[in-house]
Structure 1
Amino acid sequence: MRFPTSTTLIVTALVSRGFATYAPISTPCPSTSLVRTATGLSDEEEAYRTARKAKADVALVDWLLKTNCGFDTSGELPAVALTSSGGGFRALLAGAGVIRAFDGRDSNVSTSGLYQGLTYHSALSGGSWLLSSIIANDFATISSLMEIWKPNFANGLFSPEGSNATAVFADIDTDIALKQAAGFKGTVADAWSRLLSLQLLPGANYGAGNTLSAITSLSSFVDNEMPYPIITAMNVDLSGTSCIPPSNGSIWEFTPYEFGTWDPEVAAFTPTAYLGTSLSNGIPVSSNCTTNYDNLGFVLGTSSTLLNDPTIGTAGSPDLLLANLCTSTATSNSTSSVDELTLEFKEDIFALLVEIPDVTFTSAADLFATWPNPFYNLSSSPLVSAQENLAMVDGGESGQVNPIFPFLQPARNVSVIIVNDNDGDTAAIYPDGAELYYTYLAASAAGLSRMPFVPSPDVLVAKNMSDSPVFFGCGDVSTATVVWIPNAPLTPAGGVIETAQMQINETQTESMVANGVAVGSQNDSAEWATCLGCAIMEGSGKRLPEDCAACFGKYCFKQ
């Protein structure tokens, strides 16, 4: 399906009247600059962080004293962040259970109330599906979201709305055609994103009207009730020969206010609301800018786009063979994203292309989520200044399957990072700490000294510390404290599915979330809640309960 360029004017008019569209919209450029150097937080994030931290401190005091009255909660408290890992629907559902275990609105276990004490929440890939669903539904509880998820997940990603799938595919094709009519090429990442939106996001036209920047207008954000959300992805320079980001690749952040990276070879951010705008050396190339490109479905789809696999073409017909587009994947640590794509999953993707003919493969760029580069021709961002478009992929493809890097930035002043790991490293599809180790290596190479020492997975296994929570950074006030909470089989169902499983029945959804609740609360353990409080307060310099000594002996990693 093709539309004339004038159709973009019609779309703009319809949007002004409340019509939900996936297509980018042309709008007059703002008078303010669209690029800033990453010398600190934006004014908007700093204002939100400050207001959110004040509310989080009140909730954290309540939770700590409920947990153990021996905590000294006077004065300034640590800023606490949560990361939700990648791992497909396994990560979404297991991570949802952990959040439910922390959410005082939604559970009554030992850890209930801690979620209200968080200042930040980051996510990537399957974790970004979870975080996006929460924030788009105005900071909804997991129990309310499950009523949305269960029927959608039971149909499966590639059978949207069951018997109505043909009509859904036709609507998605129209969405992508409208995006192309606005002057932007549609790729398989767009189709992938629209299907995920249908499963996760609210609103008409399968959630097409959700944008990341519009989160700032929701009441829970306006009232500073939600932890500040950050979704990460990675970029591949297509002038090279590899389609996989290197292990030291830049971590790119999507937030309600800004997009960019702290990588010193880029060190720049741009307003999220104006993503899609053509810029050169930080200046719009015309008087009109682009809005609506920051579609939230496209953001969460970007964070989980992992089709950049040179063997993927073996699953399709000869005219769709892609192996010649990329010649190397050897630079990545990743063992949990591209490597876990099954033949069945690949065949489903090629079947999707038949259903959505406005997506075609003509170049390597079509394997990626395409974002016009706001730092094009920007001399202060040499890493990407020659790239007219950023080719974005799954945020965990460097092996860093938990988005910890955003909280190692001194400007955010995060003292405690709770890392919920739902990766599938082992044969039983549970994490073994590999991604945490890769993050430690990458942080050390990048000079991010807030990351504490983390050993290789074999060391954790040898110490019998690979399948239960571990505290890293104990006793070292120069680093953040990292609380690693890995997925583990704490209920009979075990809380595990393959990364590539795209259809989950209602019983599985419920059992996965239930296991996540057990993981987050360690089976409603009062001892665990006290120990988690000890980890949060350990670096604060305040008086700790006597119980903390035993907690540190049990959970702290010691070299």
Structure 2
Amino acid sequence: MKSYSWILPLTAFIQATNAWSPSDSYAPTEVSCERNGTLTRNATGISNDEQAWLEKRDAITENAMKTFLTRATANFSDTSFLDSLFENSSYVPRVGIAASGGGYRAMLSGAGMLAAFDNRTRGANENGLGGLLQATTYLSGLSGGNWLVGTLAWNNWTSIQDIIDGFDDSNTTSIWDISNSIISPGGENDTYTTERFALIKEQINTKYEAGYNISLVDVWGRALSYYFFPDLKNAGDALTWSSLRDFDVFQSASMPLPIVVADNKYPDDTQITLNTTVFEFNPFEMGSWDPSLHSFTDVKYLGTNVSNGIPTDEGKCVVGFDNTGFFLGASSDIFYGALLEGYSTYINVIEKEFLTANQSVNTEFAIFSPNPFKDTKYYDSSVTSSNSDSDSLLLVDGGSDGQDIPFIPLLQEERAVDAIFAFDNGDDTTENWPNGTALINTYQRQFMPQGKNMAFPYIPDATTFVEQGLNQKPTFFGCDSSNLTSLSYIPPLIVYIPNAEYSYASNTSTFTLSYSLQERLDMVQNGFEAATRKNLTEDSDFLSCVSCAVIRRKQEKLNITLPSECERCFQNYCYGYKSVNVSASSTNTSSPSTQGSKTNYTVSSAKADASSSAFNTVSTTTTASAKANAAISLSSNGILSYLSALLCIFGMF
């Protein structure tokens, strides 16, 4: 394993950079802030802070991209196009990665996929897409994918390889030690479990005693943090989201910009649809590009009472509200889904155990109160004014609207992303495999009021998706920009990477709450293989084809001659691709062809040398549904199991 001198022990790092909340607890606290300053802005572009950070990141990704593309195209008959791409820094392709939701399944499988992109992973350069992560600008996640992004970023940009190397059943402070369920962290040791939840209750009560609303999401976020930040004091109860700005690895732009997604819940809504407001959290800001808000606020000062961005108590702001665990919980909030499924009795009992008698309103949501966007004026009133009028802002799981892959932040034209790698670890089919529903929903959203300023390439319906096997191997969408000119702008090319069985049955339930060490290794291994077409053995040209996808938008824009190898790659991997010899205005009806043979291969692991079996064709017998405007849909049996077990801990059921 390579050694990286800039990766400091996280505990020492946080102490050195004052990354803790000033209260040194979960409670927000008041501080002095700039008088007459505004905390909100119109979402007319990226923030000044993000722009300044991008200038540093672009300089790093330019060199990393050149290294990656040089390696990936080494066997091309003509690589002169690289000279054209790198003769001007503005020509360098910009990449984003989006990690879907799906509980621990999404976290672990997504980890394997991301490891395939990371040159810090053993074998990633030889058998994967190593170096592409180092050339990536944005990394977004929601729900389980958010756990992946948050774990890596707020552990000082650790690597999947380092996490795997730390797996040890005898070490209860290793990251992602999920051998015991989150609802029974002590396993058979009931005393340990009771003490853990008593401590969590004590932690969140400090927030309530400081005058802020708490909910079950505070409990959820605190419980999760013990698995993501086990080395920190009280599992990072004072670790803030904005603190990442102080990390050397982020200040130097040596990592991608992390972004997580949550959905808005209007007070009077009974369903969450594609027209809900999609919020993003990045290290600088929280807000939404959607016309229903079209505003951002400084994430550091959440909890401040404001009117149109101005603190109502002049010169005084709140810090520490942006707890990292709370944000990770907000993006993966399951409690509203449980309420919709009819488990209000269970919810009520859990509320009585963890919350005070005076805290009984909206407890199934992540509560942002006071509302950081109170009285803002940047929204389109023809869509809604709720986000500005309400005293509290309520957020739920980022996949509640059916967009289980966090595309929205990466689709913004202002961010100029050329290619998005989409990790789909959803459970759309009855066998818990993806069927493209997340892509379909994002495609459909652009034709709704909230999506009028976004663009996304055409996606076939779920039935076609499954019938053509698009959910079993990587596929490129939107390869021809000439076919996308009727959209608001030319969107990024989408490289879709679905969860599929290669060496392990990775279609575990979203409500599987514990994984043994070997199961974790197997899930990560299989994710690596899903992202690399089984370590490049099913198609030895896949690395080269990925490079063609990365350069495609810039190649089209600059009118660079298409390498012949890329032409073959697009014919193999692009959905609906037409040969360069065919008119670009032709209707897209073709489908990707099947490549390669199925063989065995394994990637090196420090803890286990798991044997891989031949790739088994994924069963896809399912009733496909686009679910364009569906409300939250969660597994009733999974919800019941989760809530029943949680109640049992306290002898209440």
State the TM-score, normalizing by the size of structure 2: 0.75
Q: Which residue of 45, 50, 53 maps to 2:55?
A: 50
Query: Conserved in 2, the CA contact under 8 Å of 1:537 and 1:544?
Result: no
The 3 A distance-change label for structure 1 pair 497 and 557 is: same
Please show how residues 410-425 of structure 1 align to structure 2 within 5 Å. Answer: 410-425=413-428
The letter for the 2-side match of 1:304 is S
Query: Conserved in 2, the CA contact under 8 Å of 1:96 and 1:513?
Result: yes
The 3 A distance-change label for structure 1 pair 283 and 443 is: same
Query: Conserved in 1, the CA contact under 8 Å of 2:57 and 2:253?
Result: yes
Task: Tell me, yes or no, if structure 1 residue 152 matches structure 2 residue 140.
Answer: no
The letter for the 1-side match of 2:480 is G
Q: Which residue of 73, 98, 108 maps to 1:68?
A: 73
Taking the aligned partners of 2:223 and 2:235, their CA distance within structure 1 comes to: 8
* Cα distance, 1:49 vs structure 2: 1.7
> In the alignment, which residue of structure 2 is the partner of 1:347?
none
The 3 A distance-change label for structure 1 pair 290 and 151 is: closer
The 3 A distance-change label for structure 1 pair 91 and 292 is: same
The letter for the 2-side match of 1:487 is N
* Cα distance, 1:151 vs structure 2: 6.5
Query: Conserved in 2, the CA contact under 8 Å of 1:152 and 1:160?
Result: no
Query: Conserved in 2, the CA contact under 8 Å of 1:186 and 1:358?
Result: no
> In the alignment, which residue of structure 2 is the partner of 1:5?
none
* Cα distance, 1:475 vs structure 2: 1.5
Taking the aligned partners of 1:536 and 1:437, their CA distance within structure 2 comes to: 22
Please show how residues 324-335 of structure 1 align to structure 2 within 5 Å. Answer: none
Task: Tell me, yes or no, if structure 1 residue 473 matches structure 2 residue 481.
Answer: no
Query: Conserved in 2, the CA contact under 8 Å of 1:85 and 1:421?
Result: yes
Taking the aligned partners of 2:143 and 2:154, their CA distance within structure 1 comes to: 16
The 3 A distance-change label for structure 1 pair 536 and 186 is: same
The 3 A distance-change label for structure 1 pair 376 and 540 is: same
Taking the aligned partners of 1:100 and 1:20, their CA distance within structure 2 comes to: 34
* Cα distance, 1:312 vs structure 2: 6.1
Taking the aligned partners of 1:17 and 1:293, their CA distance within structure 2 comes to: 8
The 3 A distance-change label for structure 1 pair 106 and 386 is: same
* Cα distance, 1:530 vs structure 2: 0.9
> In the alignment, which residue of structure 2 is the partner of 1:514?
525
> In the alignment, which residue of structure 1 is the partner of 2:431?
428
> In the alignment, which residue of structure 2 is the partner of 1:328?
none
Query: Conserved in 1, the CA contact under 8 Å of 2:263 and 2:400?
Result: yes
The 3 A distance-change label for structure 1 pair 503 and 534 is: same
Taking the aligned partners of 2:562 and 2:468, their CA distance within structure 1 comes to: 27
The 3 A distance-change label for structure 1 pair 310 and 157 is: closer
> What is the CA deviation profile of residues 298-354 of structure 1, one whole-angstrom value per residue up to 9, with x for unaligned ones?
00100001211365685575xx566xxxxxxxxxxxxxxxxxxxxxxxxxxx5x656
> In the alignment, which residue of structure 1 is the partner of 2:212?
184
Q: Which residue of 520, 540, 551 maps to 2:554?
A: 540
Task: Tell me, yes or no, if structure 1 residue 527 matches structure 2 residue 532.
Answer: no
The letter for the 1-side match of 2:496 is W
The letter for the 2-side match of 1:221 is F
The 3 A distance-change label for structure 1 pair 183 and 449 is: closer
Query: Conserved in 2, the CA contact under 8 Å of 1:68 and 1:545?
Result: no
> In the alignment, which residue of structure 2 is the partner of 1:25?
29
Per mean C-alpha deviation after superposition, the further-off stretch among 281-290 and 223-232 is 281-290
Task: Tell me, yes or no, if structure 1 residue 254 matches structure 2 residue 281.
Answer: yes
The 3 A distance-change label for structure 1 pair 390 and 316 is: closer
> In the alignment, which residue of structure 1 is the partner of 2:256?
227
> In the alignment, which residue of structure 2 is the partner of 1:501?
512
Q: Figure out how many residues of one structure are paired with residues of the other and give that number.
A: 512
Per mean C-alpha deviation after superposition, the further-off stretch among 63-72 and 252-261 is 63-72
* Cα distance, 1:282 vs structure 2: 2.0
More helix by share: 1
* Cα distance, 1:296 vs structure 2: 0.7
The 3 A distance-change label for structure 1 pair 359 and 225 is: farther
* Cα distance, 1:236 vs structure 2: 0.8
Please show how residues 40-189 of structure 1 align to structure 2 within 5 Å. Answer: 40-69=45-74, 70=76, 71=79, 72-74=81-83, 75=86, 76-108=91-123, 109-146=127-164, 147=166, 152-162=177-187, 163=189, 164-189=192-217
> In the alignment, which residue of structure 1 is the partner of 2:643?
none
> In the alignment, which residue of structure 1 is the partner of 2:569?
551
Task: Tell me, yes or no, if structure 1 residue 366 matches structure 2 residue 363.
Answer: yes
Task: Tell me, yes or no, if structure 1 residue 486 matches structure 2 residue 513.
Answer: no
* Cα distance, 1:444 vs structure 2: 3.2
Query: Conserved in 2, the CA contact under 8 Å of 1:471 and 1:556?
Result: yes
> In the alignment, which residue of structure 2 is the partner of 1:283?
310
The 3 A distance-change label for structure 1 pair 132 and 353 is: same
Query: Conserved in 1, the CA contact under 8 Å of 2:175 and 2:228?
Result: no
Query: Conserved in 2, the CA contact under 8 Å of 1:83 and 1:121?
Result: yes
Q: Which segments of 5 or more consecutive residues in structure 1 lack a partner in the other structure?
A: 1-13, 323-349
> In the alignment, which residue of structure 1 is the partner of 2:607?
none
Taking the aligned partners of 1:40 and 1:545, their CA distance within structure 2 comes to: 35
The letter for the 2-side match of 1:489 is E
Taking the aligned partners of 1:181 and 1:534, their CA distance within structure 2 comes to: 56
The 3 A distance-change label for structure 1 pair 286 and 19 is: closer
Query: Conserved in 1, the CA contact under 8 Å of 2:105 and 2:144?
Result: yes
Taking the aligned partners of 1:415 and 1:543, their CA distance within structure 2 comes to: 18
The 3 A distance-change label for structure 1 pair 544 and 524 is: farther
The 3 A distance-change label for structure 1 pair 516 and 321 is: closer
The letter for the 1-side match of 2:233 is A
> In the alignment, which residue of structure 2 is the partner of 1:300?
328
Question: SS of the counterpart of 2:98?
Answer: strand
Query: Conserved in 2, the CA contact under 8 Å of 1:150 and 1:505?
Result: no
* Cα distance, 1:167 vs structure 2: 1.7
> In the alignment, which residue of structure 2 is the partner of 1:335?
none
Moved over 4 A (4+): 14-19, 148-151, 310-317, 352-355, 357-361
Query: Conserved in 1, the CA contact under 8 Å of 2:300 and 2:322?
Result: yes
> What is the CA deviation profile of residues 151-200 of structure 1, one whole-angstrom value per residue up to 9, with x for unaligned ones?
73012111225432222112111111110011012211000000011111
Taking the aligned partners of 2:237 and 2:134, their CA distance within structure 1 comes to: 29
The 3 A distance-change label for structure 1 pair 286 and 192 is: same
Larger Rg: 2
Question: SS of the counterpart of 2:494?
Answer: strand
* Cα distance, 1:360 vs structure 2: 7.7
Query: Conserved in 2, the CA contact under 8 Å of 1:153 and 1:504?
Result: yes
> In the alignment, which residue of structure 1 is the partner of 2:389?
386
Superposed CA RMSD = 2.2
> In the alignment, which residue of structure 2 is the partner of 1:438?
441
Taking the aligned partners of 2:282 and 2:325, their CA distance within structure 1 comes to: 13
Question: SS of the counterpart of 2:177?
Answer: helix
The alignment-based identity, stated in percent, is: 31
Taking the aligned partners of 2:38 and 2:562, their CA distance within structure 1 comes to: 47
* Cα distance, 1:107 vs structure 2: 2.8
Query: Conserved in 2, the CA contact under 8 Å of 1:495 and 1:512?
Result: yes
> In the alignment, which residue of structure 2 is the partner of 1:217?
246
Taking the aligned partners of 1:522 and 1:87, their CA distance within structure 2 comes to: 22
